[in-house]
Amino acid sequence: MLFTAPALFAADTVPAATWHAQSLGMAVGYMLIFAAIGVAAAIISFKVFDKCTPGDLQKEIVENKNVAAAIVAAAVILGVCLIIAAAMVG
């Protein structure tokens, strides 16, 4: 009698809501949502970094073919993407 009572009460509890996918469709949906948020955040952060630096970084890379500016921009984007990925994983 002592061992069956807790099992009966446990069946009445409602499972907590979670971000863990319950099916393949949910997993793909979550992946697309997080990917879109991550790409948008990376683009926005690059634009903010471009505004904070002197000159136009995008123009310097595209028109003047400045490799050093492209390496700096790539490092900024990778750094931001690492932070975003760590935040999404939790």
pLDDT tens-digit readout, 20-30: 778 899 889 98
For residue 36, tell me if it sits in a domain: yes
Q: What is the pTM of this model?
A: 0.66
- Could you tell me how many residues make up the chain? 90
For residue 54, tell me if it sits in a domain: yes
Residue 11 gets which letter from DSSP? T
Number of domains in the chain: 1
Q: Kindly tell me if the per-residue pLDDT of 2 is higher than 60.
A: no
For residue 18, tell me if it sits in a domain: no
Q: Kindly tell me if the per-residue pLDDT of 13 is higher than 90.
A: no
For residue 41, tell me if it sits in a domain: yes
Mean of all residue pLDDT scores within the chain: 83
Task: Give the separation between CA 40 and CA 22, rounded to whole angstroms.
Answer: 26
Domain boundaries, position 82: 24-89
What the block records as the tokens of 12 is 């009445």
